[in-house]
Structure formats: C-alpha cells, structure tokens
Amino acid sequence: MDSGIDQVFNVAIMFIFAIIYFGIISDSGLFRPFVKVMIKFTRGNVIIVAVVTALIGTCAQLDGAGATTFLLAIPALLPLYRALKMSPYLLVLLLALSAAIINMVPWGGPMARTASVIGVDNINDLWYQVIPLQLIGIVLVVLFAMFLGMREKRKIARTYSDMDREKVDIQSIVEGYEQQQNENSPIIGEAAKHKYILWLNLILTIIIVAMMLLDIVPPELAFMIGVAIALPLNFRNVDYQMERIRAHAPNALMMAAVILAAGVFLGILNETGMLKAIALSLITILPTAVGPYLHIIVGMLGVPLDLLTSTDAYYFAILPIVESTAGQFNVPTESTAFALMIGNVIGTFVSPFAPAVWLAVGLAEINMGKYIKYAFFWVWGFSIIMLIIAICLGIVTI
C-alpha cells in the first residue's frame, strides 16, 4: 500500500496546486480578451465561427478543467450561433474535441491518472512525448471545424431563407458577454479591470510552463510558486484570496483524493500479486496473435468504453489490467498507457459520466441523448485517427 501512495504522491500534489493556480488565472479574466477578439473576428461568417469555436476551446482548456472551458465559451458563442441559425450541438462538439486535445497536458486529468497508474514520478516525461501529437491534433481540429462549418452553412442555406436569418450585431454580442461575465462574477470583474495584471498573468503562466518543459523545477513546485505569486497579484484583499481558495480547493482536493486512493488500490493489487494473477489468467484466454495488439484494440474502443464506464474506472481498473497483460507480450508500459489514454481522452466530453458534459448541455440548452447521438461517431472517428497518428509517430508501438 505504501508503495502505491509513494507512486502517486507527487502527481497528487501537482494536481492540487495546478487546479488552484489555473482557477486563479481564469478568475482574473486572462482568456476574456482572446474570446472577445475571436468573436469580432468571425464577422458573422459560419465557417469562421466554427473555426473560432475550436480555437477558443483550445485556449480555454489550457487550465485543464472542462467546466471552465464550457463556462467561458458557451455563453459567449451561443448568441452568435443562434443569430446565424447554427446548431448548438455543433458548438458543444467543437469545444469538446478541441478541449480533449489540450486535456493531455500534465495538469489535466487523463495524463495525471495515467502517470499515477504506471508509476511515473515526473509527469513531464510523459507529456514531452505527446506534445507533437497535440500540435497535430490542434491542426486537425481546425480543419475538421472548417469541414463541419461548410456542412453547417449548406444546411442553413437549405433550411432558412435570407429573410429568416438575423442580421448579426457582433458588437452587441461582445458587450452582452462582457456584462454577463461581470454580473456573474463581480470579484472576477474587479480583478480583470487592470489590464497590466492580465499581461503579468500571461507572463507568469508562460514562465511556469517553460520551467516545466525545461525541467528546471518539478511540476508540483512550479505550481506552488505560481499560486504563491498569482494569488496576491490578482486579489489584494485577504477575504477575496480566501474566497478564491475556497472556490477551487474542493475540486483540487477531490481529484487528489481520487489519485491517492487509486495509489492505495494499485499498491494492494501489486503487492498481493493480484494484478499479475489477473494478467496471467487473461493470457490463457487470449489468442496468442491478439496479445501483442491488445493495447491497440482497447485504445480503439476507448470512446465506447467511456460511455460504459466512468473515467476513473477506465484508468484505474482497465488500464492496469491491460498494461500487465500486454506486458507479458513484451509491449512497453508507456506504449500501452499512451494507447489507452489517446484512445479515450478524445471521448472525455461525450460521456454522460463526465459532470462537465452535463454543464455544457445545460449551458447550450440542448438534450443529452441527442448530443451523444450527434457527436459520438465524429468523436470516435477522431480518436481512432489520433491513435493511428500516435502509432506513426512512434508514441504507441505495435
């Protein structure tokens, strides 16, 4: 049990301070100017709106929290989608795909869970390997958004006449978004008034990420330093500081508790020999030809499995068993972990087990069942493409 806790302790600490740090940065309104510029940039063009949606999702997900992405993007873009007669299901789908690509950052849930399961102390060692895949994924999401935008434009042209479509007032949409953000979060609105603070937050975030990329300090220490600087920088009042900590600490502690509990669970499985016994039992059932490709097969089924199991069950129950079984066929541990993570992470925001998805559905005022039906095959196909690219890049070995 102790070995399991030691295995995940650094990841849990990093997660606590990363969530609090990015929560503070999001509270400061760092992403607001980008969202407003992007809305103005669309000029009411359906294809550009689709592309901008993907770009906003990519930017907003940098804090690793899907809920923040949807809270930031959907209220800003939904009036624009309605005015152009665009489907709100398309809005959520594009945000879900772009957010899923960025969700492979070290402070995102999938990477943290993966690192804790396979016992990687420095989570950056895993992240370095998937950065090229993330960059390719962002390009693919933008191209996919262009394709869906053209498809949506043709659909609108068939369904509505020019008289039915409203004349889009971009400026009023931007002003409405700004007013809504300030009304919903008066403290945040106060912090965002000082433009120089936004630049300092951006510089601070770049420095922290650079320290992690260059391996100057461990990730958990980088985010500790970030929280210590960002909190007084953005909120001078002690009461405001405590309120922000109380707002973000529950999510941080809950995720850390899950990771620590998983460490205990995996420690018990390993130290008692149960995990090895399960793997050996599976080997006797599996055809010899299937064994070396088990991680690929399960990875390709990652999105459907996300609809049948929770995220924690996928990473802390399925991944250890597949990793141990594939290991008997000399498949590298990291290759198995990447295959399952890449195959599953794209489907994170299409699963009804993810609370952030329910938030997105509520904000967009759509139906969960119809959303899954609309998005499932697009998301699953995209995840398989990403897994194939990972194989081509050598991230996942066959």
3-state helix, strand, coil in the chain (%, to 5): 80, 0, 20
**Structure tokens given for 385:** 């493409």
Rg (CA), the chain: 22
The domain locations on the chain are: 2-393
The Cα diameter of the chain in Å comes to: 71
**Structure tokens given for 268:** 């018990």
Reported as half-sphere exposure (CB side, CA atoms, 13 A), residue 167 has a value of: 0
The Cα 18–Cα 127 span in angstroms is: 15
pLDDT at 324: 83
The DSSP output letter for 217 is: S
The Cα 55–Cα 201 span in angstroms is: 20
pLDDT at 189: 47
pLDDT at 8: 67
Is the separation of the CB atoms in 96 and 53 below 8 Å? no
Among candidate residues 197, 33, 339, the one with its CA nearest the CA of residue 41? 33
Taking phi over 0 as left and psi of -120 to 50 as alpha, with beta for the rest, 85 belongs to: left
The Cα 36–Cα 95 span in angstroms is: 16
Amino acid identity of residue 158, one-letter, is: R
**Structure tokens given for 366:** 């759509």
pTM for this model (two decimals): 0.76
Q: Give me the helix-helix angle, 238-271 and 109-118, nearest 10°.
A: 40
pLDDT at 127: 87
Encode 289-322 in three state secondary structure.
CCHHHHHHHHHHCHHHHHHHCCHHHHHHHHHHHH
Instruction: pLDDT tens for the chain, 398 residues: list them.
Output: 555 566 667 777 877 888 788 788 877 777 677 777 777 777 768 888 899 899 988 887 876 677 778 877 887 788 878 777 888 999 999 999 999 999 888 877 788 888 888 877 778 888 889 999 999 999 999 999 999 999 988 888 887 655 445 566 666 666 666 666 665 555 554 555 567 788 888 888 888 878 877 778 887 888 889 889 988 888 887 888 888 888 888 877 877 777 777 677 767 766 776 766 665 665 566 677 777 888 898 889 888 888 877 777 788 878 888 888 888 888 888 999 999 999 888 888 888 777 778 878 888 888 888 999 999 999 999 999 999 999 999 999 88
The Cα 186–Cα 189 span in angstroms is: 5
pLDDT at 280: 60
pLDDT at 243: 83
**Structure tokens given for 329:** 């066929």
Is the separation of the CB atoms in 348 and 110 below 8 Å? yes
The Cα 167–Cα 156 span in angstroms is: 14
Is the separation of the CB atoms in 208 and 226 below 8 Å? yes
Among candidate residues 256, 312, 267, the one with its CA nearest the CA of residue 114? 312
The Cα 89–Cα 366 span in angstroms is: 7
The Cα 41–Cα 130 span in angstroms is: 31
Residues 6+ apart with CB under 8 A from 192: 28, 29, 32, 198
> In Å, how far are 56, 96, 189, 199, 277 from 195, measured between CA atoms?
20, 30, 12, 7, 59
- Burial pattern 282-319, b for ≥16 Cβ within 10 A else e, equals beeeeeeeebebbbbebbbbbbebbeebebbebbbbbb
> In Å, how far are 2, 81, 89, 366 from 370, measured between CA atoms?
45, 18, 8, 8
